[in-house]
């Protein structure tokens, strides 16, 4: 299962997986507006992978088959981690 992965230039740690044969123009307009300008990061064959760094591989595959895309949002951080990062 081939896909392209785009990074959002305006939303940190936000990635968009796009199924093979789909184009950015095929995505809902509201998604493209929120995602911001996309930057192609990599093309992957998900059938050759056992896991992904920040997303569940089976969830990604399922979403690509059903919707044609998967949106990976930034990982959640605890309030304590954010405070420590910003005030250390």
Q: Domain ranges for the chain, please list them.
A: 2-87
Contact 9, 37 (CB under 8 A): yes
Look at the chain and count its residues: 88
Burial of 33 (0-12, 13-18, 19+ CB in 10 A): exposed
Residue 69 confidence (pLDDT): 96
Residue 84 confidence (pLDDT): 60
Q: What is the DSSP letter of 13?
A: T
The string of DSSP codes covering 19-60 is ETT--GGGS-HHHHHHH-SEEEEEEEEGGG-S--SSS-HHHH
Distance of CA 82 to the CA centre of its chain: 22
Mean pLDDT of each 10-residue bin along the chain, 88 residues long: 94 93 93 92 93 92 96 73 55
Give the integer Cα–Cα distance in Å for 8 and 45: 21
Match domain 2-87 to its CATH number in 3.40.50.300, 3.40.190.10, 2.40.50.180, 3.10.510.20: 3.10.510.20
This prediction has a pTM of 0.82
């Amino acid at each position: 299962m081939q896909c392209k992965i785009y990074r959002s230039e305006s939303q940190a740690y936000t990635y968009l997986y796009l199924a093979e044969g789909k184009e950015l123009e095929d995505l809902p307009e509201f998604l493209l507006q929120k995602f911001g300008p996309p930057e192609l990061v990599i093309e992957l064959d998900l059938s050759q992978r056992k896991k992904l760094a920040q997303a569940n591989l089976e969830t990604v595959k399922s979403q690509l088959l059903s919707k044609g895309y998967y949106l990976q949002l930034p990982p959640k951080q605890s309030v304590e981690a954010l405070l420590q990062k910003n005030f250390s």
